[in-house]
Amino acid sequence: MSIAIVTGSAGLIGAETVRFLSAKGLTVHGIDNNMRRTFFGARACTDWARQQLEQQIPGYCHHALDIRDTVAIPQLFARYGADIQLIVHAAAQPSHDWAALDPTVDFTINANGTLNLLEAMRHHAPQAVFIHCSTNKVYGDQPNRLPLIELPSRWELDPAHPWAADGIDETLSIDHCTHSLFGVSKVAGDLLVQEYGRYFGLRTGSFRGGCLTGPGHSGAPLHGFLSYLMQCAVTGTPYTVLGYKGKQVRDNIHAYDLVNAFWHFFQTPKVAAVYNIGGSRHSNCSMLEAISLCEELTGRPMCWNYQEQNRIGDHIWWISSVNRFRQDFPQWEYTYDIRAILTEIRDALQERVLGRSF
């Protein structure tokens, strides 16, 4: 029996991973205790996603465990041992703002929880592959020091810069910058994953994501940019843009495309690999551009306002270079661009939130 363990299994990436791996023939065990509701309130509750998985995925087994539990997590790994072929670690406290409210909880989830999983793997399933959902926030605000040019609807990188064509690569330093407390806890987890690969010879990969998105996201004001934006567009809820004139740029990758990248890595795993992964030049937008597209797709203007103060450590411009990943896995391709992503989110929200479809 080939088992995959997926943490954060009722979240955006976790649930997509469960479906993908189950379709590939693996037996999937999910770990998720719905902490997202604790972080962001009832609107971010993931019970609906867990219930879908339990109803729709044959053989799916859900474990309502905390990844910080130093007894229950090792016990789960010990129970299945050599049958565990893959661990996809998608559980996290994912918000800049929330991390500042309780730095201890943020750090223990993102750093200690990752350590707990790596230790369980090392002792009970060292043959497995460990894939970590890291983040571009490990680079802190270093991207804000790049030579940026203000355009009518977005900030853009100076065309003369080496990263202008393809985006930011993995050589960007993570030092001497402001990360936000969330960024710090994610750096710790990211480095742990690398070190367990190098020091213990485990097959590990850290995927430093841009904006991860899709219809499975339980978007909230503090996390889930496109999902929450479209939720506001569909329901008429006011939306607040924070800083940078609304021209901040994000690259957006659909959960399916990210999980498909995980699958390619699993097929030919490496030790202590690090990849920037996001929508790259294929799929990106500014906040203003996203608002305009939401209005086009819903057929009505959005209610939004602007606050000058940006979030601490937030990026003005981020587009990922996926060249390193493409070099290692040239058969991987995108299936979604920004318009297709927002259209799918709109349709899912219409059905789930309003009970009707376009």
Which of helix, strand or coil describes residue 272?
coil
Across the beta sheet with 249-254, what order do the strands follow? 211-213, 249-254, 284-286
In CATH, the architecture of 3-352 is 3-Layer(aba) Sandwich (3.40)
* Burial category of 66 from C-beta neighbours within 10 Å (exposed 0-12, middle 13-18, buried 19 and up): middle
Which pLDDT tens digit goes with each residue over 83-124?
A: 999 999 999 998 888 999 999 999 999 999 999 999 999 999
pLDDT for 44 beyond 70: yes
Which percentage of the chain shows pLDDT scores above 90?
A: 87
Task: Write down the pLDDT at residue 350.
Answer: 83
Q: What is the pLDDT of residue 225?
A: 78
Q: Could you tell me the residue ranges of all domains in the chain? A: 3-352
Contacts of 98 (CB under 8 A, 6+ apart): 39, 40, 106, 182, 222, 223
pLDDT at position 222:
61
- Number of neighbours of residue 99 by Cβ within 10 angstroms: 28
Q: Strand pairing of 203-209 and 155-157?
A: unpaired
pLDDT of residue 358: 40
* CA distances for 220 relative to 94, 184, 239, angstroms: 11, 22, 11
Indicate whether 143 pLDDT > 80: yes
Are 276 and 320 in contact by the 8 Å Cβ rule? The answer is yes
- Tokens 């474990």 correspond to what residue? 63
Task: Identify the pLDDT of residue 353.
Answer: 65
pLDDT digits (tens, 9 = 90+) for 230-259: 999 999 999 999 999 999 999 999 999 999
Asked whether the beta carbons of 264 and 331 are under 8 A apart, the reply is yes
The whole-number pLDDT of residue 354 equals 59
**Residue 220: CA count within 13 A, CB half-sphere:** 21
User: Interhelix angle for 72-80 vs 113-124, to 10°?
Assistant: 30
Quickly list DSSP for 300-340: S---EEEESPPPTT--SB--B--HHHHHH-TT------HHH
Give the H or E element holding residue 183: helix 180-200
Please, what is the angle between helix 225-235 and helix 338-352, to 10°? 50
The per-residue b/e assignment along 171-196, b for 16 or more CB within 10 angstroms, e otherwise, is: ebebeebebbbbbbbbbbbbbbbbeb
- Please name the amino acid found at residue 321: S
Cβ count near 260 (within 10 Å): 18
Closest CA to 315 of 98, 141, 163, 96: 141
Inform me whether the pLDDT recorded for 140 exceeds 70.
Answer: yes
Structure pTM? 0.94
Determine whether 1 is exposed, middle or buried from the number of CB atoms within 10 Å of its CB (0-12, 13-18, 19+): exposed
For residue 332, pLDDT over 80 is answered with yes
As a whole number, mean pLDDT of residues 218-226 equals: 70
The pLDDT assigned to 357 comes to 44
For 163-195, write each residue's pLDDT tens digit.
999 999 999 999 999 999 999 999 999 999 999
CA atoms within 13 A on the CB side of 148: 21
Q: What pLDDT, on a 0 to 100 scale, did the predictor assign at position 82?
A: 97
Q: Average per-residue pLDDT in the chain?
A: 94
Neighbour count for residue 316 (Cβ, 10 Å)? 20
